[in-house]
Structure formats: C-alpha cells, structure tokens
Amino acid sequence: MYHGITAADTDSKTLRLSVLDETTFQFQFIGEARVPLKQLVSGVRRDFNIYLTGLVVMHLVFAISSQCTL
C-alpha cells in the first residue's frame, strides 16, 4: 500500500501504467493501461492481460525497385 492512499481513494482512483520502448537515443510511447484500484487487494499478486490504449500505429514502408520481379 502506498502512503497517502486511503480506502476511499481505492473506490475512485485508477492506476495508470505507461509503456515505453527504450532505444539508444529516446523513449517511444507505445501505449498505456489503466487498472481501477478497487480491483487490487493489498499484498495479493494479480496478473492482468489487457490491451493498451493510446497505441501508436507504426507505418511500414516497403520500397519495391522497378528492377525487382515478383
């Protein structure tokens, strides 16, 4: 339990986890996950399988040479 969070806070607050991709030069935001605190119990491990929101769509560009035959 974190200091400063009351039992009343667990009914209305949400834990927000940001997921970043760390490269050599920067951190790129991939998305975030939100978990309502009322779903968590102090001292009990809980696993989640949830989708990220705010996902950055990566566009792949394929260059095909005019000399290339398919």
Residue tagged 């035959």 (tokens): 69
Per-residue pLDDT for the chain (70 aa), expressed as one digit of tens each? 567 788 888 888 888 888 888 888 888 888 888 889 888 887 888 888 888 887 555 555 555 444 444 4
Nearest to 42 by CA among 12, 8, 1, 4: 1
- Domain edges within the chain: 1-70
**pLDDT value, residue 19:** 87
Strands 14-22 and 27-36: antiparallel
Query: Exposed, middle or buried, 4 (CB in 10 Å: 0-12/13-18/19+)?
Result: exposed
Give the integer Cα–Cα distance in Å for 18 and 54: 10
